[in-house]
């Protein structure tokens, strides 16, 4: 398990490291901004990633003047952006495979080199100069 994701700090230590009161961390949890790991005895444990998130929340609320609902929305958008970036990277790797296959066809001199991995465009008929 990565060190940043490993929950190791109890709430008092985590609050001290983040520079806030333990009640602040509880409020962030109640608002759905944090999800600390709970032990079998229901003790909250925070990781370095959680503390980084707390610092981001505190920056947005104290420096930028964003309320907690706005912070929640911004963090959701950030998570969505990361998801879109991952999807984009996956699509880019999928697009590289047909391009590599097309290069192989071109080296061999196949007629299908331009069409490798791509669907053929459908024919469009025109009526009175208007594309359908």
Residue 94: the pLDDT is 77
Residue 124: the pLDDT is 59
Residue 19: the pLDDT is 93
22 and 50 inside one domain: yes
22 and 74 inside one domain: no
1 and 28 inside one domain: yes
Tell me, yes or no, whether 9 lies in a domain: yes
pLDDT digits (tens, 9 = 90+) for 68-124: 999 999 988 888 888 788 888 888 887 776 666 666 666 666 555 455 556 655 655
How far apart are alpha carbons 66 and 51 in whole angstroms?
19
Residue 82: the pLDDT is 84
DSSP 122: P
Domain hosting residue 76, numbered range:
69-118
How far apart are alpha carbons 62 and 106 in whole angstroms?
59
2 and 41 inside one domain: yes
Within 10 angstroms of residue 53's Cβ, the number of other Cβ atoms is 18
30 and 47 inside one domain: yes
Reduced to 3 states (helix: H, G, I; strand: E, B; else coil), residue 108 is helix
48 and 80 inside one domain: no
Tell me, yes or no, whether 35 lies in a domain: yes
**Of 11, 29, 32, 31, the residue nearest 21 (C-alpha):** 11
| Structural domains counted in the chain | 2
73 and 61 inside one domain: no
Tell me: pLDDT of 52 over 60: yes
Are 46 and 11 within 8 A, CB to CB?
yes
59 and 10 inside one domain: yes
52 and 86 inside one domain: no
14 and 73 inside one domain: no
97 and 109 inside one domain: yes
pLDDT digits (tens, 9 = 90+) for 6-51: 899 999 999 999 999 999 999 999 999 999 999 999 999 999 999 9
Tell me: pLDDT of 1 over 50: no
């Amino acid at each position: 398990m990565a060190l940043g994701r490993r929950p190791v700090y109890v709430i008092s230590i985590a609050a001290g490291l983040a520079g806030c009161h333990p009640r602040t961390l509880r409020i962030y949890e109640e608002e759905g901004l944090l999800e600390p790991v709970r032990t079998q005895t229901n003790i909250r444990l925070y990781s370095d990633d959680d503390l980084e998130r707390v610092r981001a929340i505190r920056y947005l609320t104290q420096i930028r003047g964003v309320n907690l609902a706005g912070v929640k929305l911004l963090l959701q958008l950030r998570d969505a952006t990361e998801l879109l970036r991952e999807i984009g990277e996956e699509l880019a790797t999928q697009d590289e495979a047909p391009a590599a296959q097309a290069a192989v066809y071109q080296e061999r001199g196949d007629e299908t080199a331009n069409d490798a991995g791509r669907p053929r465009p459908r024919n469009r008929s025109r009526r009175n100069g208007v594309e359908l």
